[in-house]
Structure 1
């Protein structure tokens, strides 16, 4: 039995590794195409691009781990069923219940990994991804501000600095013309300035010290002195439309999400739509890891019930079943955010449904019920190929 479970477990690991690598490769290629303007505009190197993709991996792995778990178990037991290995084991006195330890342990390991991605990895990746983009934006802004040259790269803003330190980002004799506010223009002069980033708020600032603001509104002119003043640089041009200004619930840490969702009496100070999104995200980060166990246990009896099914068709069926699950999950997210359903019901209904179905299917598989997969259209397709 130990040898049997060890071999099943090894095969599960190999298919899981292959599946997760393939899915991640496809997604990262898609992201590369999506961020091509950002990478080309920022002149980001290959190592920096790899680092950014590494920060995005926990977000994708949270969703991909359940489908890879389901696909691995489905294909392994489908192969065993097609090669009559399960029939041979049954003839030797082993029931399907005796084969459960290896897939259960495998599903529990995948669930633990997905919990780590959900509670810690996602927020770590998001925070570092935002910080890296902000640092790239700061570097790009420093390169754009050349000493002794009026810079007009940012809409509504004109910058001039007599000297610019590219390493520290400090400037001297700074002049700023601000026309971003309608009906008002401001001219800001200061002896010292510095480019700063505020990753928490997604802002890039030019910090000025001990200067003056000449503000013109209609026909009135006012002069203000300041000790510290910040000019916000619009990031849309630098980051090619990528928004880092607002931290969305799916990018927040687990602790912050729980704190917002349990706002209690302070919930009135939070936008209701945002509050519902935070509550939905909390349940989603709990439901997806559990889906590894549910979908894995669902895939095993499904694979045992089908006979005469080749792996390429099994792959399509497995993807279709996960699509059904993900559609139910997406509907739960939509209904939860709109207030039609509570987040607990909307997000956990797919897991409960598939868990009940998996128990029924497992009993059918133990009683040796099966679905013969010999469809006429497949026969005709094979004849045409021949």
Structure 2
């Protein structure tokens, strides 16, 4: 690699690294605010736990940020070089577009290898560590789920409200039980109550004093004329299971959370006929595994696809403005991910082979990139 190649490689590498960091930071902030900021402000997470959980989000956001960062970084560098007439001077010296692109394509191939390791190992491992860390933090302080003067929707099927909370003593307590359509079918209210944690059952036990309750018609709960009447109890007990939040649901592995050996084990499992599973359902499950495997491979190779488009496009647009190139990169990346999502929506139709359709955006981008290379090289 000569001096000119090293100059191009270093410029593109640094700019791509900054672009990946920028996109990753934006995605990380979004995930942290959605999943972690509320529990931390409510006292459910300590600051050090919050920081560790944010750190475990890094491989997850890099999964999406690496292809976008590569595309944007190449556009920024080549746009600046074209605007400063550096590309023109190099081509006037007899250097071809392919020769100038060699260090960038080499960097893109390194990005593909890095993306494969992230997609099939680091990201799944970090996701499971994230879930374990979050679940453990919740188990250590389960009563923190009850926040006073707040509508609490953390428990499936119910909404809670507590006017005041002093330790595990509650005042002005309201409980709404919802049906599958999120309509209120039962309602209870109490002036005072008590909240205890049942560690063996992994649940909160709510004891209400002087409670009043109202039941509505199960078929038409919004018809207030069909209210079945109200009842009053000196004491009533409700169980609020935490397994949905800290145990079974938190630690349930999605296909994206599996490493490559685990995905291959799932693929082999659904290849073998199962007597307790209908063939149509087994085919759908097998297709979902295949889609996940192909999607992770396709996402890694999208780094190369984006580079093939960005190189001739960056030379051709000759724009130095950061905002224009960032916008162009984001628009192309969104188009790619939209096409990928549309292919993934066919997971219940194995006959359409959505696992292969998921490669169409890569093929389209690479075809467009080669065509742009041809046009630029002849210009």
Which piece of structure 1 moves more, 33-42 or 98-107?
33-42
| Contact residue 271 and residue 286 of structure 2 kept, 8 A | no
Q: Deviations over 1:114-150 (max 9, x none)?
A: 1111111112111111211221122124999xxxxxx
Please show how residues 293-332 of structure 1 align to structure 2 within 5 Å: 293-307=304-318, 310-332=321-343
Alignment-derived partner of residue 128 in structure 1: 129
Q: CA deviation at 1:42?
A: 4.6
Q: CA deviation at 1:309?
A: 6.4
Alignment-derived partner of residue 39 in structure 1: 40
| Contact residue 79 and residue 319 of structure 2 kept, 8 A | no
Q: TM-score, normalised by structure 1?
A: 0.68
Alignment-derived partner of residue 272 in structure 2: 265
Alignment-derived partner of residue 345 in structure 2: 334
Q: CA deviation at 1:64?
A: 1.1
Alignment-derived partner of residue 95 in structure 1: 96
2:297 equivalent to 1:286: yes
SS in 2 for 1:266: coil
Q: Per the alignment, do residues 275 and 299 of structure 1 end up closer, same or farther by CA in structure 2, a change over 3 Å counting?
A: same
Q: TM-score, normalised by structure 2?
A: 0.69
SS in 1 for 2:45: coil
The correspondence for 1:255, drawn from 261, 269, 282, is 261
Alignment-derived partner of residue 3 in structure 1: 3
State the alpha-carbon separation in 1 of the partners of residues 141 and 102 from structure 2: 55
| Contact residue 204 and residue 233 of structure 1 kept, 8 A | yes
Q: Per the alignment, do residues 364 and 138 of structure 1 end up closer, same or farther by CA in structure 2, a change over 3 Å counting?
A: same
Q: Per the alignment, do residues 22 and 141 of structure 1 end up closer, same or farther by CA in structure 2, a change over 3 Å counting?
A: same
Please show how residues 149-298 of structure 1 align to structure 2 within 5 Å: 195=199, 204=202, 233-236=241-244, 243-244=249-250, 246-262=252-268, 263-266=270-273, 269=276, 271-272=281-282, 273-298=284-309
CA RMSD of aligned residues (A): 3.2
Q: Per the alignment, do residues 113 and 323 of structure 1 end up closer, same or farther by CA in structure 2, a change over 3 Å counting?
A: same
Consecutive unaligned residues of structure 1, counting only runs of 5 or more, are 145-152, 157-192, 197-202, 207-230, 369-386
Consecutive unaligned residues of structure 2, counting only runs of 5 or more, are 146-153, 158-196, 205-238
Q: Deviations over 1:257-299 (max 9, x none)?
A: 2222232123665644444322211111111111101111111
Q: Deviations over 1:42-83 (max 9, x none)?
A: 532222112112222212111111111111111111111111
| Contact residue 70 and residue 296 of structure 1 kept, 8 A | yes
| Contact residue 43 and residue 144 of structure 2 kept, 8 A | no
Alignment-derived partner of residue 14 in structure 2: 14
How many residue pairs get aligned? The number is 292
State the alpha-carbon separation in 2 of the partners of residues 347 and 130 from structure 1: 28
